[in-house]
Amino acid sequence: MSKNPQKGLEANLKKAPVVPVMVIENLKDAVPLARALVEGGLPVLEITLRTAAALECIKAIVNEVEGAIVGSGTVLDARQLKASEKAGCVFAVSPGCTDKLLKAAKDEKIALLPASASPSEAMKLLEHGYELQKFFPAEQKGGAPYLNSLSTVLPRIKFCPTGGITPALAPSYLKLANVITLGGSWMAPKAMVNEGKWDEIEKLAREAAGLRQR
C-alpha cells in the first residue's frame, strides 16, 4: 500500500481561512510572532526557509507556542524536506515541484503541499496523489477567476492560493469551491515585526481569522 503524501494535511488546512506565510530573520522574533498569530486565531503557520535562522525559528515555535501547527515554506529539495521534518514541521510547502522532490516526499512522514501554476502541472501532481496543491503566484497567474475556471475541469483538486493576496482580495478566493484556505503575509508586516508590535499583529490575525469561506 502506497503512502499518502498528504496525510493529515486537509484537516490542518481547514483550521483557518488564512495561513500566515512568514520570513523570520531574527530568532528572538519567532516565538512572540507565532504566539500573536495563534492567539489571533491563525494556528497554521508557514515559516519559509529563506533565512539562515528559519530552522531554529521553527524549532522554537514548535517547542514553545501552544496550539501552533507549523510548516516550512520555500522547500526546494530533499535536504530541506528532511530538515523540515527533523525541526518538527508537520507539513512542507514548495513553490513548484520536481520529480526529485516528489520522490523524496515518499520517504518522509511530513506532508507536502506542492505548487502548480497550470492545468498540466496540477494534473501531474494529481497523478502522484496530490489532491491538495498550492497555487502560486496566485495574483500574477490570474487570481480567483483563473482558479474558478479550474474547478469544473479539475474538481478533485483543492488549492491554497498564495502570492499577492490582500485582505481586500481574500474573499474572492475563499468563496470558491476549490479553495481550502489561502496563504498571505499581510497580518505580519515586516515593520511591525521589527518593532515588536505583537498586539497589533494579533489584531490583524484576528481580522484575517474572521474571513469566512463560502
The span from the CA of 60 to the CA of 189, in Å, is 20
CATH code, 202: 3.20.20.70
Instruction: Write the Ramachandran bin of 211: left for phi over 0, alpha for psi from -120 to 50, otherwise beta.
Output: beta
Q: Is 137 domain-assigned?
A: yes
Catalytic residue, from 28, 66, 106, 134: name it: 134
Give residue 100's domain range: 9-207
Backbone angles phi, psi at 159, to 5 degrees: -110, 150
Give catalytic status of residue 134 as yes or no.
Answer: yes
Q: Confidence class of residue 213 from pLDDT cuts 50, 70 and 90?
A: low
Residues 89-109 have a mean pLDDT of: 96
Residues 12-41 have a mean pLDDT of: 98
Q: Is 1 domain-assigned?
A: no
> Which residue in the block uniquely carries the three cell numbers 502541472?
121
SS3 91: strand
| pLDDT attached to residue 1 | 41
The span from the CA of 194 to the CA of 58, in Å, is 18
Q: Is 212 domain-assigned?
A: no
Catalytic residue, from 39, 46, 158, 202: name it: 46
Contact 211, 17 (CB under 8 A): yes
Q: Is 213 domain-assigned?
A: no
Q: Is 60 domain-assigned?
A: yes
Residues 186-209 have a mean pLDDT of: 98
Q: Confidence class of residue 17 from pLDDT cuts 50, 70 and 90?
A: very high
Q: Is 114 domain-assigned?
A: yes
Contact 169, 143 (CB under 8 A): yes
**Number of domain units in the chain:** 1
User: Does the structure show a pLDDT above 80 at 3?
Assistant: no
The span from the CA of 101 to the CA of 112, in Å, is 9
Contact 72, 93 (CB under 8 A): yes
| pLDDT attached to residue 4 | 86
Q: Is 3 domain-assigned?
A: no
Give catalytic status of residue 100 as yes or no.
Answer: no
Contact 117, 147 (CB under 8 A): no
User: Does the structure show a pLDDT above 80 at 34?
Assistant: yes
Interacting residues of 91 by C-beta distance below 8 A, sequence separation 6+: 9, 12, 69, 71, 72, 110, 111, 112, 113
What is the percent of the chain where pLDDT is above 90? 96
Q: Is 99 domain-assigned?
A: yes
Condensed to tens digits (0 to 9), the pLDDT of residues 151-162 reads 999 999 999 999
| pLDDT attached to residue 212 | 77
Condensed to tens digits (0 to 9), the pLDDT of residues 50-80 reads 999 999 999 999 999 999 999 999 999 999 9
Q: How far is CA 95 from CA 72, 85, 135, 171, 201, in A?
A: 11, 18, 8, 23, 25
